[in-house]
Every structure is written in structure tokens, then in C-alpha cells.
Amino acid sequence: MRLICPLCGARDRREFTWMGAASLLARPPPGGDFVAWLHERDNPAGPLDELWLHEAGCGALLRGRRDTRSHDCAPLQLAGGSA
Amino acid sequence: MRYSGFRVLAEGLRGGKGWQPFWRKAAPAAEYDAIVIGGGGHGLATAYYLAREHGLSRVAVLERGWIGGGNVGRNTTIVRATYMLPGNQEFYSAALKMWQTLAQDLNFNLMYSPRGLLMLFHSDGQRDAFARRGNAMLLQGDDAQLLDRAGLRALVPYLDYDQTRFAVHGALYHPRGGTVRHDAVAWAYARAADARGVDIIENCEVTGFDIAQGRVGGVQTTRGAIRAGRVGMVVAGRSSELAARAGLRLPVESHVLQAFVTEGLKPFMHQVISYGMGHFYISQSDKGGLVFGGDIDFYPSYAQRGGLPRAEQVMQAAMTLMPAIGRARVLRSWGGIMDMTPDGSPVIDHTPIDGLFVNAGWNYGGFKATPASGLCMAHLMATGQPHPLAARFRLDRFASGAVIDEEGTGATHHLH
């Protein structure tokens, strides 16, 4: 599998570390439901919005949509918005 | 039909005309006392113990595909009781004891082979950790023995002891660990459950739940609606997907775990061996093939096939540990979809919906748990109370903090 980094281009999947579903970015406010945020997971058989860290590359936290049945993956975007 | 040596002989003499299918092709009835969703090893065992231990006469197992087509046919067939933490320890110890007599219990040859399990260590620190684990296993009443390098070498001379990268210092030996013929487990439980009147309904996918006032009343399936006041979800690998149909979110991610088989070789590997410096383990099947596997691919997948980077890493681990097998050709590989929980331990518990129960989160180790999982799940569904062996496998342990982090890496999803 190859993933497309917005900064580096198409790279081997081994350069990336999977960080979780993108819903992790929506941290609840103080007093919110942290148990659900931390432990209950988006885990669909199908398209999943997720986070990848380009650990052995540019180091950017990236976000993209991948189909968990086929591993078809759209080009990734910077998780924090455009550079 | 009761199986015996005499029966094999008699059927051999009359051309095998008397053999019958292991179970009936049941059609769904309108209502049952209990429904078990999932016809894998755990689901079939649950149905069997519901009938045998609790006398429920109207039980159905609903299977989306076919019996034996899921993870009960996609594993490396290893059974062991090498756990250390309260909760896991007594549960897996009981499971191993059940394996020892299960073939007689189910009247089916499960080819249970207590060939011994060797967990290698490669440093002083790892030896200390295994000594501690071994002592915990002995206190639980299981067997464990710490082998030094010479002791290990006498058992398995073919490891690469002279390598400088990850020198082999010894092993924790668990003599009663071993393997069981995995497909036979599914067939045996299906046959035994069927004999006690359980309806095993294949090609029947659950598409929704009938829930009114916080209580389950039945399920919607591709073969029509079925009523039942007690419904158990026993679909590890697909637990999140099914639970979502009941409006629930689980602390589970689904990951693919790969395994590999080589061509048949003459018997030379007489134990199950796990490598301490990488997630790699190997045994030789009775047919002669080397059966081995590694770690998960570390990103969620429902593809039932693994990625090549992990396959490469597993082969590297094999060659580092035992270069002798380098010329064996790999015949096939497969991937099973695993429920991964944050702490690596399973869930057998109530859900917030009355009458709906969940058995999920088996991570790397579902196969070895099969009999005890079925026993505990049946107890929970029949009595509404957790079985003492599984009382800590709670769904709310991530909120309460009573996690069972066997690996000791931290009870967070991406850490193991």
C-alpha cells in the first residue's frame, strides 16, 4: 500500500504510523465524555476518516479517507489544515 | 450417531453409507428462548452450553456465512494457559483444562496435542519477566518451567543460538500447551449443539435489532424476523459493525492478523515456539506444514488478507531464529479480522440494552479461549449474572479503570 503525502508525494506505507480515527481530533471540552472519546472507536467496514503520522518522512500529522475493505485511500491532507 | 473405533470399522465395511451430516440445515422458527449471533467456535460453544448446562431447549445460532468460515478456521490452532493477570489467569487456565477433555465431552476427535510451548527469552530482563510469569502460572495451578540455554538446546537444537543480534538465552516451557485441530472444534460443537436441539441457521445475516423501551425483543435477519428475549452477539472481528446495528459503540478496532503455512515437511519441530524479540510463533501441524504468524498490520482492515510489509517482517523473524527452515516453500497465507480492545483483553458482558449480551474483543487469542468463552457466555445469557471465571471481562472497565493490560504496554488502542 502506498499513501500520498501532501508534502512528500506517494510513499511506502511503512513510512507512516496509523494514529486512529479522525474523530480523535474532536477532543471533548472539560467535563465532556472523555471515556467515549478515548476508548469507543469508529470502526466501520467501509470508508473511514483516519489519521496517519508520516513518521519516517516529513513528520506531519495527516488525515484522509480509506476504505477498510479494499484499502483504497484518497490523497492525504494535513490534519491541521492547509500549510 | 455416536462415534467410536467400532463405528469407523463398521462403516468401513459397508462403504461409509451410514455416515450422516454433522448437523441439520435448520430453517429459522418465529421465536426462540435465546439467539446466538455468530456461528464461530465461541458462538457454537455458547449455544451448546446453553442447552447442556442451562437446559434451554429453543436456541438458535445465526451465521451470516457458513460454519467454520470465520476466525475459527483462520488461526494458528494454539492453546495455552500462560497468563499472569487476575481475570485472564483463571479464565485461560480453565479453558486449557476444558480442552483436555473436550474430545470425550463432544465425542469428536479434536486432535488435541499437548506438545509443549516454548517462549524464548533473549536478555536478562526478559528472563526475569518470564520467571515471574512462570511463578504466576504455577500459583494458578498450571505448569511452567524455566529452561536455561543448555536445557532449551536439548529440546530444540536447530535454533540459531550463535547469532549476535538476538541471542537465545533460554525459554519458559509450558508442557501442557499445544495445538488443537481448529476446524474440528467448529464441527464438533455444531454437531453436539445440534444433537441437543439447537437450530444452526447458516446464510442468515442479522440486519437489525428489535429494541423497545431499552429491552431487546428479537432480531431482523435476511431470512426474516426472529423473536427472542435473550440475544448474544458473538461475532469477534465484526463486533463493532453488529453492535452499531443496535446503536452501540464498542471499545474495539478491527485489525488483520496474518498467518502462513509451508509445504509439508518430515516432523522435526515437536513444540510450539514463540520468539521473544518479535511477534513470531511457529509450530508444525500433524500434516507436516509449518504454521506460523506474527503481529497485526497495525491499521484497521476488514480485507481478510494481510499487507506485504508484515509478511516480510514475519519471514525475517523466522530466518533470524531458525535459518534451517529457509528453503521451505510457503504454500499459503491468510488474514483474520481481530477485535482489538485497548487493553488486549476480551469482553463478556451485558450491554446497556436489557437482554442483549456481548462477547467480543478476543484480540490475538480467541481460539484458545473457545470452550471457556462459550461456558461463560452461556452462563451470562441464561442467568443474567457473569460467570465467576469471566467476571472481570466487563464492558465498562475502561470507564472504571479496572483494565486487564496483560502485555503491560498501556491500555490504549494504538500501543499494542
Task: Say yes or no for a CB contact (<8 Å) between A40 and B249.
Answer: yes
Instruction: Specify whether B392 is located in the same domain as B370.
Output: yes
Q: Is the pLDDT of residue A12 over 90?
A: yes
Amino acid identity, residue A58? C
What are the percentages of helix, strand and coil residues in chain B, rounded to 5?
30, 25, 40
Q: What is the mean pLDDT of residues A31-37?
A: 94
Q: How far is CA B132 from the centre of its chain?
A: 25
Considering B306, B340, B374, which residue would you say is the last residue of a domain? B340
Q: How far apart are CA B350 and CA B95, in angstroms?
A: 21
Give residue B409's pLDDT band: very low, low, confident or very high (50, 70, 90).
Answer: confident
pLDDT of B416: 65
pLDDT of B279: 85
Which residue do the cell numbers 437482554 mark?
Answer: B355
Instruction: Specify whether B172 is located in the same domain as B33.
Output: no
Instruction: Count residue pairs from A and B with Cβ separation < 8 A.
Output: 60
Q: What percent of chain B has pLDDT over 90?
A: 93
Instruction: Specify whether B287 is located in the same domain as B231.
Output: no
Q: Which residue of B has its CA nearest to A34?
A: B399
Does B63 map to a domain? Answer: yes
3-class DSSP state of A66: strand
Does B105 map to a domain? Answer: no
Does B197 map to a domain? Answer: yes
Structural domain total, chain B: 2
Q: Does B288 touch chain A (CB under 8 A)?
A: no
> How crowded is the C-beta side of B11, counted as CA atoms within 13 Å?
13
Sign, CA torsion B379/B384/B388/B390: positive
Which residue do the cell numbers 494454539 mark?
Answer: B78
pLDDT of A82: 56
Instruction: Specify whether B407 is located in the same domain as B353.
Output: yes
Contacts of B298 in chain A (CB under 8 A): 17-18
Q: For residue B210, what are the domain limits?
A: 26-75+182-248+343-415
Task: Say yes or no for a CB contact (<8 Å) between A69 and B303.
Answer: yes
For B364-402, what is each residue's pLDDT tens digit?
A: 889 999 999 999 999 999 999 999 999 999 999 999 999
**CATH number of the domain bearing residue A15:** 3.30.2270.10
The closest alpha carbon to B49, from B377, B393, B403, B401, belongs to B377
Question: What is the per-residue DSSP string for B175-222?
Answer: TT-EE--HHHHHHHHHHHHHHTT-EEE-S--EEEEEEETTEEEEEEET
Does A60 map to a domain? Answer: yes
For B281-314, what is each residue's pLDDT tens digit?
A: 999 999 999 999 999 999 999 998 889 999 999 9
Which residue do the cell numbers 469507543 mark?
Answer: A40
Contacts of A13 in chain B (CB under 8 A): 307, 309
Instruction: Specify whether B203 is located in the same domain as B313.
Output: no
Q: Which of B413, B414, B416 to mutate to test the interface with A (most CBs of A within 10 A)?
A: B413
Q: How far apart are CA B412 and CA A29, in angstroms?
A: 20
Element (H, E) at B398: helix B397-400
Whether residue B160 contacts residue B319, with contact meaning beta carbons closer than 8 Å, is answered with: no
For B24-71, what is each residue's pLDDT tens digit?
A: 999 999 999 999 999 999 999 999 999 999 999 999 999 999 999 999
Find the range with the poorest average confidence among A46-50, B165-169, B344-348: B165-169
Q: Does B307 touch chain A (CB under 8 A)?
A: yes
- Degrees (nearest 5) of the Cα angle B188, B369, B81? 120
Q: Does A35 touch chain B (CB under 8 A)?
A: yes
Whether residue B261 contacts residue B289, with contact meaning beta carbons closer than 8 Å, is answered with: yes
Q: Is the pLDDT of residue B117 over 70?
A: yes
Which of B244, B399, B412 shows the shortest C-beta gap to A35? B399
Q: How far apart are CA B73 and CA B76, in angstroms?
A: 9
Model confidence pTM above 0.80: yes
Q: For residue A16, what are the domain limits?
A: 2-78
Q: Is the pLDDT of residue A20 over 50?
A: yes
Does B93 map to a domain? Answer: no
Instruction: Specify whether B388 is located in the same domain as B404.
Output: yes
Q: What percent of chain B has pLDDT over 70?
A: 100
Does A83 map to a domain? Answer: no
Report the mean per-residue pLDDT for chain B: 95
Give residue B407's pLDDT band: very low, low, confident or very high (50, 70, 90).
Answer: confident
Cα–Cα separations (whole angstroms), residue B384 to B81, B176, B352: 27, 33, 13
Task: Say yes or no for a CB contact (<8 Å) between A68 and B254.
Answer: yes
Number of residues that this document lists for chain A: 83
Question: What is the per-residue DSSP string for B22-90?
Answer: SS--PPPPSB-SEEEE--SHHHHHHHHHHHHHH----EEEE-SS-TT-SGGGSS--EE-----STTHHH
Instruction: Specify whether B172 is located in the same domain as B244.
Output: no
How many other C-beta atoms can be found within 10 angstroms of the C-beta atom of residue B327? 8
Q: Is the pLDDT of residue A83 over 50?
A: no
For B12-25, what is each residue's pLDDT tens digit?
A: 999 999 999 999 99
Structural domain total, chain A: 1
For B64-83, what is each residue's pLDDT tens digit?
A: 999 999 999 999 999 999 99
Does B13 map to a domain? Answer: no
**CATH number of the domain bearing residue B223:** 3.50.50.60
Cα–Cα separations (whole angstroms), residue A78 to A14, A57, B113, B300: 18, 14, 52, 20
Grid cell of B116 as nine digits: 509443549
Q: Is the pLDDT of residue A43 over 90?
A: yes
Number of residues that this document lists for chain B: 416
Whether residue B362 contacts residue B339, with contact meaning beta carbons closer than 8 Å, is answered with: yes
